[in-house]
Amino acid sequence: MRRALPVLACLLLAACQGHPDPAAGPATPAGTAARTPTEQVTASMEAFQEARSFHAVMSLEGARETTNELDFVAPDRYRMQMPIGTQVIIGDVLYLQSQGRTQKMQLPEGTVAQWRDPMQLKAGHANLQVQEQGSSQIDGITARQFLVRNGPAEQPVQFFYWIGPDGLPVQLRHQGVSQGQPYTMTVRYSRFNDPGIVIDTPAASG
């Protein structure tokens, strides 16, 4: 069962690296057209970090293909629905559920906190480069598409980022190489600030 922990951590981190964190309200109200692409993406990412809750569907295509669903409830509750079972993280505690049992495991302090700024927006803001690329229809929503590059010049992170009319992310897509194999990761967001998303503390059984 312990082997599932690094798998979960990698999936969550990979998902976050393909996405920022949602937000509590509209990030780009009237006047969006006057903002530069960098300002629009920065405002959306910052708003994402303030979200009270959201739902995300993460699809990985390539040598290894998988689809996982993630729920978040502020300030530090995550629920990941994975093939091995439903995993819950509350604070720095992982409740690993598999084969009808729930194992409580301590995560290194601050593990989850770093996921609130997974793209290292604050640290790499000086290197943030954004290109606007028109708009797309995603699940009936007209979203503005951006190509984002962030991080150190010698090893930047690049991803596509779609922003909805409320200024919050609709979709993120990142392509890369892992263990010599190319992959495409797509994260689609919904249900921002939905009070119906509730993550209860599982009862540990082992």
Residue 34 within any structural domain of the chain: yes
Residue 114 DSSP one-character state: G
Which two three-digit tokens encode residue 170? 């609709």
In the chain, the number of structural domains is 1
Answer whether residue 44 is part of any domain. Answer: yes
> In this model, does residue 113 exceed pLDDT 90?
no
User: What pLDDT band is residue 121 in, cutting at 50, 70 and 90?
Assistant: low
Strand order in the sheet with 157-163: 101-106, 93-98, 85-90, 77-82, 66-73, 53-62, 181-190, 169-178, 157-163, 141-150, 129-138
**Overall pTM surpassing 0.95 (yes/no):** no
- By C-alpha distance, which of 198, 4, 199 is closest to 101? 4
Instruction: State pLDDT tens for residues 127-155.
Output: 789 999 999 999 999 999 999 988 777 77
**How far from the centroid of its chain's Cα atoms is residue 104's Cα?**
24
Whole domain around residue 132: which residue ranges?
4-190
At 59, which amino acid appears? Answer: S
Between CA 86 and CA 166 the distance in angstroms is 30
Residue 88 lies in a domain: yes
Q: Is the pLDDT assigned to residue 61 strictly greater than 90?
A: yes
Asked whether residue 206 is domain-assigned, the answer is no
CATH code (residue 115): 2.50.20.20
Residue 201, domain member (yes or no): no
On whether residue 70 sits in a domain, the answer given is: yes
Mean pLDDT of the chain: 79
Task: With respect to residue 9, please indicate whether it lies within any of the assigned structural domains.
Answer: yes
Q: Does residue 198 sit within a domain?
A: no
69 token code pair: 């669903």
